[in-house]
Structure 1
Amino acid sequence: MKSETIRKQLLELLIDFEDELKSDNLRQKVLSLIPCYHHLRDLGKSLIPPAEARSARDRILHYFLKYQGVVISGDELLVVSGIQEYARRIRELRVQFGWSIASGLTAAQMAEENEFDFAHIDAAVMGPSDYILLSDEQDRDAAHRWNLANEIRRENISVRDKLLKYFRKNISQKITGEELKYLARDKSEWARRVRELRTEYGWPIVTKNTGRPDLEVGVYLLEADRQSPKHDRRIPDPVKCNVLRRDDYKCTVCAWSHDEWNRSDPRHLELHHQKTHAKGGENTEDNLVTLCTVCHDDIHRKK
């Protein structure tokens, strides 16, 4: 077995190094350790058979997929990849190949806005060199979006405006927190700005915890290029989620749900005040009902 052969060779080198420790020649000690380092690296690489993953990037992806949803430290990736620049390979997996790998910083920023829905993980204790694969589904459109993000990132506009522009260029497309963090030039405010776009400016940006349980953790999606009326923007997220859950995430008039979404019928779900806000109707679960945008517009048109 290759791994066992490497282990034995490494053990022999370490035993021989015992004599080097008695020497006062520093350089000779260093030179004697170099083969040990290479054998240790080869041992780590050999843990994943070449038939399953040949390159460093493939070994990193193999490891993430085997432990999807588990916090992986950079030291683990250093071992299995056999290279120092494993972080560059992680970026390639994100940007070029569309794998949703979140860093510890991004996970912590999502957790501050209650968007990191892993009950068994405390994102606050994750370090900058910790990573987690949020989904085992590859997004093959990611490369195009990352190129667009790079263009918008350089524009001389506010972080919120960059985020909104990016969302409006990718309507109904799943966007990861890593994309938004990059767009905001790694500023920690990006997650708060996304929430403001939804709650204060009325853009229908949804996540797993804000009305779209079908979405993966760490994914953001702008459902339509339209803002909700100002009075609807004051509905608290918990109330909105409870109403959607109560109505089974379907329009209470036509029974449309997101399972029927398609590009030729790009509607989404909104909440409607049964007693209008202008007449004192409150943002309570009893006064709110789920409608698709088509039925919602039709009701207001008739009124």
Structure 2
Amino acid sequence: MVDGDPADEFRAAVERLTELADEVAAERSQEAVLDAVADLRVAIARAYRGRRPRSDSGGGARKRILAHLVKHRGEWVGSDELAAVSGIGEWARRVRELRGEQGYEIEEGGGRYRLVSEEPDTVRRDRFKTVTDLRNADGSATERVQALLETLVGQAVTAEELNRVAHGKDGAGVARQIRSRELLPIETSADAPDLNPGDHRLVSIREIDRLHPSQRLFPEDLRRQVFSRDRFTCRSCRLGRLSLKVPRDQVFYLVVGHLDAAPDAVADLPADRLTSLVRLATSCNRCTAAGVSG
């Protein structure tokens, strides 16, 4: 058979698979079917002398996966099925490319995949490009992460996106360092209940909206305790992150206020009074700027 006509081998393999159609329908003889599929692959390889279509560097496999998902839109498709359809070992990477580079909403669970819509999400696609462009930009991890937060100002940035731009480093840690050093109003789930753990959001890039230096004295864990206790609501104006009364067109974020001292004098307090929860209160940037305390 080694010296036979590859085209004849292909026909024989196809014929063998056809003969097994009833076995497949009855969910029998799986090993025999897999052997026949293997023979078919060998015949194809021999027919093309081991050559692969030029598009199989990625584009062809990706198209085949997408076509299969579109054909079964809304249905769960197994990973082994996508591997067979793609014909390459890196099929999972092609699925990620369909999600990220092209913006298709593909759900994943238990080793299965499901295409939600045949139309790609252009917003998702453009955002992936933004993150990719910043990941490939020059500069340090800190500079790239800050550029990402500023580019997506007002939007939640995921931990995965931060890590990509930071080249695998702790992107969340870099964002916290930027908040402390630059006093940028960068929120986490400790500051805003609509953010998921690991998400970060730069509220504003305006100089006037930067944090007061005293906020460096209140780490994330402490902020979480204070804001959660006060239901993420400013004690002075009663506006908060859980309230629908926060004006959408105005910059609003929470800060920690101290009942015993103004922001400029907080650093002079003894350590035990500085971090005492009963002496701390949730305030907002606007009330703090106006000199109003809880």
Q: Structure 1-normalised TM-score?
A: 0.60
- In structure 2, do the counterparts of structure 1 residues 139 and 268 end up closer, same or farther at CA, with 3 Å as the change threshold? farther
Residue 87 in structure 1 maps to residue 93 in structure 2: yes
Q: 1:132 offset after TM fit, Å?
A: 11
Residue 184 in structure 1 maps to residue 166 in structure 2: yes
Q: Which residue of 2 aligns with 1:212?
A: 192
- In structure 2, do the counterparts of structure 1 residues 150 and 131 end up closer, same or farther at CA, with 3 Å as the change threshold? farther
C-alpha distance in 1 between matches for 2:201 and 2:154: 6
C-alpha distance in 2 between matches for 1:235 and 1:174: 22
Aligned partners of 1:239 and 1:284 also within 8 Å: no
Residue 284 in structure 1 maps to residue 276 in structure 2: yes
In structure 1, list runs of 5 or more residues that go unmatched. 21-27, 36-52, 67-74, 103-129
Aligned partners of 2:24 and 2:30 also within 8 Å: no
The structure with higher relative contact order (CA 8 Å, sep 6+) is: 1
Q: 1:57 offset after TM fit, Å?
A: 4.8
Q: 1:158 offset after TM fit, Å?
A: 0.9
- CA deviation string 1:217-241 (max 9, x = no partner): 4432222324322221121222111
1:270 alignment partner, SS class = strand
Q: 1:196 offset after TM fit, Å?
A: 1.9
Q: Which residue of 2 aligns with 1:268?
A: 253
C-alpha distance in 2 between matches for 1:200 and 1:132: 42
Aligned partners of 2:79 and 2:112 also within 8 Å: no
Q: Which residue of 1 aligns with 2:175?
A: 194
- Of stretches 286-295 and 213-222 in structure 1, the one that deviates more from structure 2 is 213-222
| Regions of 4+ moved over 6 Å | 130-133
Residue 237 in structure 1 maps to residue 239 in structure 2: no
* Equivalent residue for 1:14, pick from 16, 31, 41: 31
- CA deviation string 1:184-217 (max 9, x = no partner): 23x2332321232234543332333x22232234
Map 1:1-303 to 2 at 5 A: 7-8=24-25, 11-12=28-29, 14-15=31-32, 30-31=38-39, 55-57=67-69, 77-79=79-81, 82-83=85-86, 84=88, 85-97=91-103, 141-185=123-167, 187-208=168-189, 210-225=190-205, 226-258=209-241, 259-276=244-261, 277-280=266-269, 282-299=274-291
Letter in 2 for 1:198: R
C-alpha distance in 1 between matches for 2:113 and 2:249: 35
Aligned partners of 2:172 and 2:200 also within 8 Å: no
Q: Structure 2-normalised TM-score?
A: 0.61
C-alpha distance in 2 between matches for 1:160 and 1:194: 8
Give the superposed CA RMSD: 4.2
Aligned partners of 1:57 and 1:90 also within 8 Å: no
- CA deviation string 1:249-288 (max 9, x = no partner): 1111111123444541121111112222144161332222
2:256 alignment partner, SS class = strand
In structure 2, list runs of 5 or more residues that go unmatched. 1-20, 44-64, 115-119
- In structure 2, do the counterparts of structure 1 residues 13 and 153 end up closer, same or farther at CA, with 3 Å as the change threshold? closer
C-alpha distance in 2 between matches for 1:60 and 1:180: 33
